[in-house]
Amino acid sequence: MLMAKDVEFFRARLPEFRDAEERFFSGQMNAKEYKGISGKFGSYAQKGGQLGMIRLRMCGGHLDKDKLSFIIGECRRYGISRIHTTTCETIQLHNLTGDQILDIMDRALDHGINTQGGGGDNPRNVSATSLSGVEPGEKFDVYPYAKAAETYLLDIMTEIRLPRKLKVTFSSSDRNETHATFRDLGFIAQDDGTFDVWAAGGLGGNPKFGIRVAEGVDPSKTLYHVRAMVDTFMKHGNYENRARARTRYMRDDLGDEGFIAAYNEALAPLLERGGMDIHPEPIQYPVKDVKDVSGDRIFGQKQPGLYYVAYHPVGGDVPLEALERISDAIADIDGAEVRVAPDSTLYIINLDGAEALRVRDATEGGAGTLFETSVSCIGSTICQQGLRDSSGTLFAMIDAVREAGIPDNALPRFRISGCVSSCGNHQVGMLGLQGASKSVDGKAVPVFNLTVNGCGLEGKERFGDAVGAVPVDRCPEMAVFLGRTVAASGKDFDAWLSTEGKDLAGVLRDYLV
């Protein structure tokens, strides 16, 4: 939960947002000025300037019953139908009036949800492996340290001035789903119970994988490294040119060795001074009778007798009815909660066998194949920065693939971003699409730039190769063609890729302009 002082401090700042909201939506403030104020409160105006959105921070994607009930209640109160999950494990509520945004922002504080810093030049939601603490084979539970980092960053947010946003992530397994090796600051759990720390990476324009700045770090020292990165960013970040203001550009200016030296220069006095050690209490998980169960979307936790259920809302848009069914199904289940993953999957955890079956039945209707779990940002119909309707394109592709009867295992997961910002993480997708425009025969054509063979797994990180552009209206046809090609081989996609599909760009060349 939020500390009482944090709640009251943020509430005391809300009149600033109310003034900006009233002036913007009445036409007395321009969009750029409003964005500079609203972003730090976790809200942005949507395309057209008539409605807005709010981003709810969910450290590590943790969504307990009370938070879930609050979100459902607000959606019912205002008739909110666009509920979108993000790759930073937050939940966005869309198509709101200014007054609605302010009211939700205020009431959320009473449920442990702080929207402060959800946008703008601030530390963003701290992300952590969504199944941290329950995933078999993980190194250790990183969430308590992620939560401590989130609390610390919220405490210092109004005392610091960053050049741009700062994304801090924690990873407990080699899946690296939070992309901790290529974010602004990433903590990677090791087998010996320590962290390796990576910094100054990021997607978007001029993407970079991170650089390891520390090894074998005792988790109790986590906050020293968080503060060292904040101080390094404030000292060496670019305040003059926003296009070069992300942490990865410090490495262009300082060189990798120079950046590491600058980081250690900030870290050393913090460690010498001390006083920032943390020893968070480990999370206690419920103990339940062992009742073996198996079934689609049901998986065993590392705690004997406990299970989790996976539900993936297509396109990351969660139907309110689905949230209501989940809430009803877990209302009387001891310890049950929801985790929001960076790929938009919702995991409902801490279930016994019978409870898992009940929750599985309550979450029918989501993605049924790997391809249908494709990741997309909200897209240009909502986002002011978006160039292409990434979300609408994904739904069109899924409809076409379903209509064509493509086998379940014939297509991989796509990652789709509406612009270069990479909110869909297209650069590390097996197939990535990034909204753009291209001149074809002297005419501007709306396209998605196509990248192939990207990967975000720890130790196998790779940005996809740019191979050309696909006209927006041909994306569904391209997906069907690829699915049919793979299906004709009699293999699943991975097996086909290692043989006939090695030249993936060549296979898709007829769709490229």
Residues 6+ apart with CB under 8 A from 10: 109, 114, 116
Q: How confident is the model at residue 9 (pLDDT cuts 50, 70, 90)?
A: confident
Taken as a whole, the chain contains a residue count of 513
The whole-angstrom separation of Cα 73 and Cα 108 is 11
Predicted confidence at residue 3, as pLDDT, reads: 60
Asked whether the predicted pLDDT for residue 4 surpasses 60, the reply is no
Strand locations in 341-494 (E): 346-351, 375-376, 414-417, 431-440, 443-452, 465-471
Percent of the chain exceeding pLDDT 90 equals 95
What's the average model confidence in pLDDT over 84-90? Answer: 97
Where is 507: in which H helix or E strand?
helix 504-507
Query: Which string of b and e fits 21-60 if b means at least 16 CB within 10 Å?
Result: bebbbeeebeeeebbebbbbbbbbbbeeeebbbbbbbbbb
Count other C-beta atoms under 10 Å from residue 102's C-beta: 21
- The domains found in the chain, sorted by start residue, are 4-111 (no CATH), 127-263 (3.30.413.10), 298-362 (3.30.1370), 371-511 (3.30.413.10)
Can you list the alpha helix ranges (DSSP code H) found in 195-291? Answer: 222-236, 248-254, 256-273
What confidence tens digit (pLDDT) does each residue in 148-175 have?
999 999 999 989 999 999 999 999 999 9
| pLDDT one-digit tens code per residue, 478-488 | 999 999 999 99
Helix, strand, or coil (residue 216) = strand
288-313 pLDDT, tens digit per residue, is: 988 889 889 999 999 999 999 999 99
What is the model's pLDDT at position 342? Answer: 97
Which of 295, 314, 401 is closest to 358 using CA atoms? 295
- Distance CA(372)–CA(438), nearest Å, equals 28
What pLDDT sits at residue 122?
Answer: 95
| Segment 206-250, tens digit of pLDDT | 999 999 999 999 999 999 999 999 999 999 999 999 999 999 999
Q: What is the mean pLDDT of the chain?
A: 96
Alpha-carbon dihedral angle through residues 70, 74, 75, 80, given to the nearest 10 degrees: -140
Does residue 42 contact residue 282 with C-beta atoms inside 8 Å? Answer: no
Please give the model's pTM, rounded to 2 decimal places: 0.96
Query: What digits encode the pLDDT tens for the residues 93-126?
Result: 999 999 999 999 999 999 999 999 999 999 999 9
Q: Which of 178, 120, 41, 69 has its CA nearest to residue 456? A: 178
Cα–Cα dist 443/448, whole Å: 16
Residue 54 tokens, joined: 């709010």
pLDDT of res. 44: 96
Looking at residue 440, its pLDDT comes to 87
Q: CA 13: distance to chain centroid?
A: 27
Asked whether the beta carbons of 23 and 29 are under 8 A apart, the reply is: yes
Q: What is the pLDDT of residue 291?
A: 82
Structure tokens at 509: 């060349």
Q: What pLDDT is stored for residue 211 in this prediction?
A: 98
Q: What are the structure tokens assigned to 487, written together?
A: 């299906």
Q: 10 Å Cβ neighbour count for 256?
A: 14
Tell me if 185 sits within 8 A of 197, measured CB to CB: yes
Stretch 352-370: mean pLDDT, rounded? 96
Please identify which residue in the block is written with the tokens 């989501």.
Answer: 366
- When pLDDT is cut at 50, 70 and 90, the band that residue 418 belongs to is very high
**pLDDT confidence of residue 8:** 80
Residues 337-355, mean pLDDT to the nearest whole number: 97
pLDDT of residue 1: 53
Rounded Cα distance between 67 and 40, Å, is 21
| pLDDT reading at 20 higher than 70 | yes
In 3D space, the residue among 67, 182, 83 whose CA is nearest the CA of residue 127 turns out to be 182
DSSP label at 455?
A: B
Distance CA 475, CA 451 (A): 13
